[in-house]
Amino acid sequence: MILVLASSWDTSASALVSGWGARGARLITPVDLARPGWRWDPAAPLAGDLAVGSDVLPVRSVAAVVSFLSVIQPSELQHIAPDDREYVAAEVSAFLVGWLTSLGERVLNPPTPLCLNGPHLRDAQWRREAALAGLPVATLRRTESCRVGDASGDAPGAACATTAAVPPPGTVVEVAVVGGSCVAADAVPPVVRRGLEDLAARTGAGLLSARLLPGVDSDLWWFDGARAGVDPTADGVSASLERSLGVAS
């Protein structure tokens, strides 16, 4: 069985599972994590059970897992009392981090303690890691402020301001890396593709989306940020996921 972990509202993930349904894929959403049937002994993770839909299944039946979910939103847990949703969401997230990690290589994109679908890196970290992977890195000027006005002290009523310079629209290329390989990136210079694959490896990102600024007249492409996860509807991603997860054709 292939498990696809995604938000209940993620229509592209559910479409993916529908397409793979006959080949043993099941969609698992936050609601499934807060329903009866889960049983996990961290010392013997494969001996446990999981709840998906109305079924309780042995963990041993899981061949592969992919997560399109970075966090559990309390608002997804509509069957939980409103006052308890924030707590339950935090508990479910913490449980999933441990559970997914215990499944080892079955998980295409292993979680980290603060992110259910890969590394939880801030922009500054992505840029540093990209530089270490040999990619030329664009510089982001970032100003964050909760006070605008004179500098004499806290100013009640002052507006908060966030400014982050954003590249002009149309100049950014997004490249997906699935299971260590760039997807549908023929237009990207090989040296940049290798850099992105190195970035995915060094950050432990099984699924990675990187933003690039193409050079105007050269092979010098600039790295301009990344995130864990991919858009399953992007060119070639679905087929690449099938290969990485071993979805039988």
Site for other proteins contains 146 (CB under 8 A): yes
User: Which residues have C-beta within 8 Å of that of residue 112, sequence separation ≥ 6?
Assistant: 97, 118, 119, 120, 204
In terms of phi and psi (left: phi > 0; alpha: psi -120 to 50; beta: otherwise), the region of 246 is left
* Residue 224, SS3 per DSSP: strand
Site for other proteins contains 99 (CB under 8 A): yes
Site for other proteins contains 154 (CB under 8 A): yes
Among 23, 120, 193, 194, binds other proteins (CB under 8 A): 120
Among 54, 83, 105, 152, binds other proteins (CB under 8 A): 152
Among 22, 43, 170, 187, binds other proteins (CB under 8 A): 43
Site for other proteins contains 52 (CB under 8 A): no
Q: How far is the CB of 82 from other proteins (least distance, A)?
A: 13
- Name the residue nearer to other proteins (CB basis): 22 or 169: 169
Site for other proteins contains 41 (CB under 8 A): yes
Q: Which of residues 71-90 bind other proteins (CB under 8 A)?
A: 79-80, 84, 87-88, 90
Among 18, 39, 235, 239, binds other proteins (CB under 8 A): 39
| Cα 133 to Cα 87, 137, 202, distances in angstroms | 38, 10, 8
- Name the residue nearer to other proteins (CB basis): 222 or 234: 222
Task: Name the phi and psi angles at 56, rounded to 5.
Answer: -115, 120
Q: How far apart are CA 214 and CA 101, in angstroms?
A: 36
Q: How far apart are CA 32 and CA 240, in angstroms?
A: 27
Q: How far is the CB of 244 from other proteins (least distance, A)?
A: 24
Count the residues of the shown chain that bind other proteins, applying the rule CB under 8 A.
71
- Count CB atoms within 10 A of the CB of residue 106: 18
